[in-house]
């Protein structure tokens, strides 16, 4: 009989693991090693403090090329009454770093003396004169680095638990060390499992999943100071899985078993752990990542240290869940074994740009992008999908909605654990509105100009709403006014009346019908949408493309009810293209580039203008200057017009500047 997982709160799961580790004698630094002091020690965690064996400098050293002397001998020297010192008894040439003779207590730089061979004859070799003449006195210890200036023998140079940086190695070497005591790197085996997985580089067929979780997990382990050992993909075969996991446990300190953690027909991980050791936890109340497994494995009799227990983490298969499980369970474990404090992220408080819901029973790890718009720090939630690895790539941080919170309204403050330095958030240009594929090109060019473009796709009208609420620097918009045939202006009156706004044309682009390659249903135009054998895929209400569609359907006298699939909505051009590519729909309205991206056929229908709407306060801000620069940049314009269906002749044209008059509803 199948036993399904039972989620327990995160703190309880962590406590159970901690207790099991302590019981097994694995609660602290695993082992230490005496490693040579060289550049390979960077990143290692010191298991013992470094105390200075010798001082640095370990003798009084000259800080300048010049002459060592007794400061007292120079006391009378004046510009008008120079003092001469005889080489040998009163002065001695020294290079920077040379030890000072015992009798000397100061150095005069060579350029501050007259080197003489006799009373008035300059020396043939300025470093080997008979005498030197000074026209100013020197205080004691002038131009001398006294013994211990840098490090005094017996002082603490580096504390235990410290992660070694390049400069630390300099200080440790200067204080007389040749080796360092460091925590041994914990070895973590990473085992990907699943019959459907194929390694990177192999041809991909339908149903195949490119295996990358093991790469992500191994990279995390190495970043956090461990040493990852990646195993080959194990198919869903219980006995084989047991054999591999046993081997991994025999040779490593930790086993990360990826996938097979939930309730599917071939989800063996929990049973493997039960067979080879003790299952501590199956299911943690976190989203994503809830089917986590925690356990302790036994080593086989023939293994090294056969009595050792080896913790195992059953890492859920979905990539975001897998990476977050690494952060939540693996990082703290490695930190503990390395004797270093667990990672403390920098946190900031930011206001949510939209309402979110959250499962009441779980700690919900929400990925967000963060940026400053005006005086406010804003957090825009990214995709919640556990399979959307790019949401973690794009994320600036994680906002945890704790258990008990069922959701938050737009504008609520959340604490965000940052993945980046807070300064980077100040360079963020927030674009919320209609998405266009050229914005990705813009993002890439802005990155070269020290800006980060973060865009959220909420459709044209959604973008104007975001601007009204002060939650974006700019919005892409392509809203057709059916009466005038103009774009956007009338809608600005509706959403941004009274505000100072700059409306700048961005591109003219082609819109048309996306159909499968070869156009099997012979689609010719919008009139075909009313056909009984036609399944359409629509854009969401408020999207410019939706406005365009409704306008033209009305002109053709086609009612929404006549269009099959009119109620099926997607949020981006690419999502519409994907629906057609997968066969879920026969056609959809979108831009040429989306058709090209997914190798669809395209039936061009209209040209439309896509504008950027920018409140004047931001248009004049240094932050957005590169956006305006790029509109005039020949190389950028060339790249945009090289994209299929785009024309940049309008790019940068100011359509409106100044206060927006109120308008009636369009």
Question: Could you tell me where the beta strands, DSSP code E, fall in 197-236?
Answer: 197-198, 209-210, 227-230
Q: How far is the CB of 48 from ligand MOO (least distance, A)?
A: 40
- Contacts by 232-236 with C-beta closer than 8 Å and gap 24+? 232/199, 233/192, 233/193, 233/194, 233/197, 233/198, 233/199, 234/191, 234/192, 234/193, 235/193, 235/194, 235/195, 236/193, 236/194, 236/195, 236/260, 236/266, 236/268
DSSP 430: E
Q: Which helix (H) or strand (E) holds 311?
A: strand 309-315
Binding mask 242-271 for ligand LQZAQKY5 (x = CB under 6 A): ----------------xxxxxxx--x----
**Among the listed residues 311, 330, 310, the one whose alpha carbon sits nearest the alpha carbon of residue 322:** 330
Q: Which helix (H) or strand (E) holds 446?
A: helix 438-448
Q: 3-class SS at 271?
A: helix
Four-CA torsion 116, 122, 124, 128, nearest 10 degrees = 20
Nearer to ligand LQZAQKY5, 316 or 476 (CB): 316
Binding mask 348-387 for ligand MOO (x = CB under 6 A): --------------------------------------x-
In this structure, what token pair is assigned to residue 476? 């892409």
**Among the listed residues 388, 396, 439, the one whose alpha carbon sits nearest the alpha carbon of residue 419:** 396
Q: How far is the CB of 476 from ligand LQZAQKY5 (least distance, A)?
A: 32
**Contact status: 185 vs ligand MOO (CB under 6 A):** no
Nearer to ligand LQZAQKY5, 236 or 471 (CB): 236
Q: How far is the CB of 434 from ligand MOO (least distance, A)?
A: 30
Q: How far is the CB of 327 from ligand MOO (least distance, A)?
A: 13
Nearer to ligand LQZAQKY5, 192 or 371 (CB): 192
**Contact status: 340 vs ligand MOO (CB under 6 A):** no
**Contact status: 319 vs ligand LQZAQKY5 (CB under 6 A):** yes
Q: How far is the CB of 262 from ligand LQZAQKY5 (least distance, A)?
A: 4
Q: What is the rounded CA–CA span in Å between residue 406 and residue 401?
A: 8
Residue 337 φ then ψ, to 5°: -70, -20
Interaction partner, residue 211 (ligand LQZAQKY5, ligand MOO, none; CB < 5-8 Å by kind): ligand LQZAQKY5
Q: How far is the CB of 160 from ligand MOO (least distance, A)?
A: 37
Tell which positions 187-216 bind ligand LQZAQKY5, by CB under 6 A. 192, 194, 197, 209, 211-214
Q: How far is the CB of 659 from ligand LQZAQKY5 (least distance, A)?
A: 50
Nearer to ligand MOO, 277 or 289 (CB): 289
Residue nearest to ligand LQZAQKY5 (CB): 317
**Cis amide prior to 288 (ω within 30 degrees):** yes
**Contact status: 194 vs ligand MOO (CB under 6 A):** no
Q: How far is the CB of 50 from ligand MOO (least distance, A)?
A: 42
**Contact status: 295 vs ligand MOO (CB under 6 A):** no
Q: Residues 568, 541: contact at Cβ < 8 Å?
A: no
**Contact status: 316 vs ligand MOO (CB under 6 A):** yes
**Contact status: 288 vs ligand MOO (CB under 6 A):** yes
Q: How far is the CB of 291 from ligand MOO (least distance, A)?
A: 6
The terminus-to-terminus CA distance of the chain in angstroms comes to 61
Residues whose CB falls within 8 Å of the CB of residue 74, separated by 6 or more in sequence, listed in order: 83, 85, 106, 108, 134, 136, 137, 138
Interaction partner, residue 71 (ligand LQZAQKY5, ligand MOO, none; CB < 5-8 Å by kind): none
For 101, 106, 117, the CA distances from 93, given in Å and listed in that order, are: 10, 12, 14
Q: What is the rounded CA–CA span in Å between residue 120 and residue 626?
A: 67
The piece of 39-47, 63-71, 270-278, 310-318 that touches ligand LQZAQKY5 (CB under 6 A) is 310-318
The piece of 4-12, 270-278, 288-296, 303-311 that touches ligand MOO (CB under 6 A) is 288-296
- Looking at the DSSP bridge assignments, the partners of residue 397 are 368, 418
The gap from C-alpha 428 to its chain's centroid, in whole angstroms, comes to: 14
Query: 224, 231, 268, 318: which one contacts ligand MOO (CB under 6 A)?
Result: 318
Nearer to ligand LQZAQKY5, 105 or 211 (CB): 211
The gap from C-alpha 466 to its chain's centroid, in whole angstroms, comes to: 25
Number of residues that bind ligand LQZAQKY5 (CB under 6 A): 26
Residue 544 φ then ψ, to 5°: -60, -40
Interaction partner, residue 643 (ligand LQZAQKY5, ligand MOO, none; CB < 5-8 Å by kind): none
Q: Which helix (H) or strand (E) holds 351?
A: strand 347-352
Nearer to ligand LQZAQKY5, 386 or 492 (CB): 386
What burial class does residue 582 get, using C-beta atoms within 10 Å of its C-beta: 0-12 exposed, 13-18 middle, 19+ buried?
A: exposed
In this structure, what token pair is assigned to residue 523? 């689609």
If you compute the radius of gyration of the chain from its CA atoms, what whole number of angstroms results? 35
**Contact status: 573 vs ligand MOO (CB under 6 A):** no
Interaction partner, residue 261 (ligand MOO, ligand LQZAQKY5, none; CB < 5-8 Å by kind): ligand LQZAQKY5
Q: How far is the CB of 386 from ligand LQZAQKY5 (least distance, A)?
A: 5
DSSP 98: P
Nearer to ligand LQZAQKY5, 226 or 317 (CB): 317
Query: 58, 287, 336, 490: which one contacts ligand MOO (CB under 6 A)?
Result: 287
For 29, 49, 51, 167, 171, the CA distances from 156, given in Å and listed in that order, are: 21, 7, 5, 15, 11
Tell which positions 383-442 bind ligand MOO, by CB under 6 A. 386
| Beta strands 376-381; 356-357: pairing state | unpaired
- Cβ atoms within 10 Å, residue 117: 14
Q: What is the rounded CA–CA span in Å between residue 259 and residue 314?
A: 7
Helix 238-251 vs helix 269-276: crossing angle, to nearest 10: 60
Residue 16 φ then ψ, to 5°: -60, -40
Helix, strand and coil content of the chain, in percent to the nearest 5, comes to 25, 30, 40
The piece of 126-134, 282-290, 302-310, 490-498 that touches ligand MOO (CB under 6 A) is 282-290
Map tokens 């269906």 to a residue. Answer: 645
**Contact status: 289 vs ligand MOO (CB under 6 A):** yes
Interaction partner, residue 214 (ligand LQZAQKY5, ligand MOO, none; CB < 5-8 Å by kind): ligand LQZAQKY5
**Contact status: 277 vs ligand LQZAQKY5 (CB under 6 A):** no
**Contact status: 623 vs ligand LQZAQKY5 (CB under 6 A):** no
**Contact status: 290 vs ligand MOO (CB under 6 A):** yes
Nearer to ligand LQZAQKY5, 115 or 256 (CB): 256
**Contact status: 316 vs ligand LQZAQKY5 (CB under 6 A):** yes
Binding mask 88-117 for ligand LQZAQKY5 (x = CB under 6 A): ------------------------------
Query: 71, 269, 321, 592: which one contacts ligand MOO (CB under 6 A)?
Result: 321
> Contact residues for ligand MOO (CB under 6 A)?
287-291, 316, 318, 321, 386
> Contact residues for ligand LQZAQKY5 (CB under 6 A)?
192, 194, 197, 209, 211-214, 258-264, 267, 288, 290-291, 316-319, 321, 386-387
């Amino acid at each position: 009989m199948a036993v399904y997982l039972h989620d327990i709160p995160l703190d309880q799961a962590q406590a159970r693991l901690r207790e099991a580790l302590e019981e097994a004698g694995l609660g602290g630094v695993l082992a230490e090693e005496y490693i040579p002091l060289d550049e390979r020690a960077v990143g290692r965690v010191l298991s013992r403090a470094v105390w200075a064996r010798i001082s640095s400098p370990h003798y009084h050293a000259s800080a300048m090329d010049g002459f060592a002397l007794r400061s007292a001998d120079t006391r009378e020297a004046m510009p008008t009454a120079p003092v001469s010192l005889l080489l040998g008894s009163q002065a001695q040439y020294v290079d920077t770093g040379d030890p000072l003779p015992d009798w000397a207590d100061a150095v005069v730089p060579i350029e501050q003396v007259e080197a003489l061979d006799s009373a008035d004859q300059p020396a043939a070799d300025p470093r080997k004169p008979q005498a030197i003449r000074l026209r100013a006195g020197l205080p004691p210890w002038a131009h001398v680095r006294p013994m211990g200036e840098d490090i005094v023998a017996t002082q603490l140079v580096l504390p235990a638990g410290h992660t070694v940086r390049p400069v630390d190695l300099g200080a440790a070497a200067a204080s007389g060390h040749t080796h360092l005591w460091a925590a041994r790197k914990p070895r973590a085996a990473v085992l990907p499992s699943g019959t459907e997985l194929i390694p990177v580089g192999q041809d991909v067929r339908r149903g195949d999943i490119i295996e990358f979780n093991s790469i992500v997990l191994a990279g995390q382990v190495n970043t956090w100071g461990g040493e990852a050992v990646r195993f080959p993909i194990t198919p869903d075969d219980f006995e084989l899985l047991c054999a591999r996991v046993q081997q991994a446990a025999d040779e490593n300190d930790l086993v990360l078993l990826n996938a097979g953690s939930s309730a599917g027909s071939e989800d063996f991980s929990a049973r493997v752990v039960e067979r080879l050791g003790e299952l501590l936890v199956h299911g943690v109340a976190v989203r994503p990542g809830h089917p986590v497994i925690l356990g302790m494995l036994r080593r086989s009799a023939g293994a090294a240290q056969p009595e050792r227990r080896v913790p195992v983490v059953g890492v859920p298969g979905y990539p975001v869940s897998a990476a977050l499980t690494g952060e939540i369970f693996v990082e703290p474990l490695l930190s503990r074994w390395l004797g270093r404090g667990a990672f403390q992220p920098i946190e900031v408080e930011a206001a949510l740009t939209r309402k979110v819901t959250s499962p009441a029973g779980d700690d919900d790890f929400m990925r967000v992008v963060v940026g400053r718009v005006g005086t406010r720090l804003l957090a825009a939630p990214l995709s919640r999908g556990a399979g959307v690895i790019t949401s973690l790539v794009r994320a600036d941080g994680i906002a945890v909605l704790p258990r008990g919170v069922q959701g938050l309204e737009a504008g609520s403050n959340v604490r965000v654990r940052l993945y980046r330095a807070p300064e980077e958030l100040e360079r963020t240009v927030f674009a919320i509105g209609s998405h266009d594929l050229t914005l990705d090109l813009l993002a890439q060019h802005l990155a070269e100009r020290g800006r980060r473009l973060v865009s959220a796709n909420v459709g044209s009208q959604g973008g104007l709403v975001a601007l009204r609420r002060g939650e974006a620097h700019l919005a892409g918009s392509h809203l057709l006014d059916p009466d005038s045939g103009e774009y956007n202006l009338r809608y600005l009156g509706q959403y941004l009346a009274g505000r100072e706004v700059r409306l700048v044309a961005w591109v003219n682009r082609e819109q048309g019908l996306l159909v499968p390659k070869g156009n099997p249903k012979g689609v010719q135009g919008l009139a075909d949408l009313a056909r009984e054998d036609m399944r359409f895929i629509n854009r969401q209400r408020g999207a410019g493309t939706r406005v365009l569609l409704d306008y033209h359907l009305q002109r053709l006298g086609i009612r929404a009810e006549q269009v099959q699939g009119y109620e099926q909505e997607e949020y981006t051009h690419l999502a519409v293209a994907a629906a057609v590519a997968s066969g879920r729909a026969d056609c959809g309205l979108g831009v040429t580039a989306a058709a090209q991206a997914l190798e669809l056929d395209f039936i061009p229908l209209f040209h439309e203008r896509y504008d950027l709407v920018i409140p004047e306060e931001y248009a004049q801000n240094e932050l957005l200057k590169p956006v305006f620069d790029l509109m005039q940049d020949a190389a950028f314009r060339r790249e945009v017009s090289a994209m299929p269906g785009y024309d940049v002749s309008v790019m940068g044209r100011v359509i409106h500047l100044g206060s927006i008059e109120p308008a009636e509803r369009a």
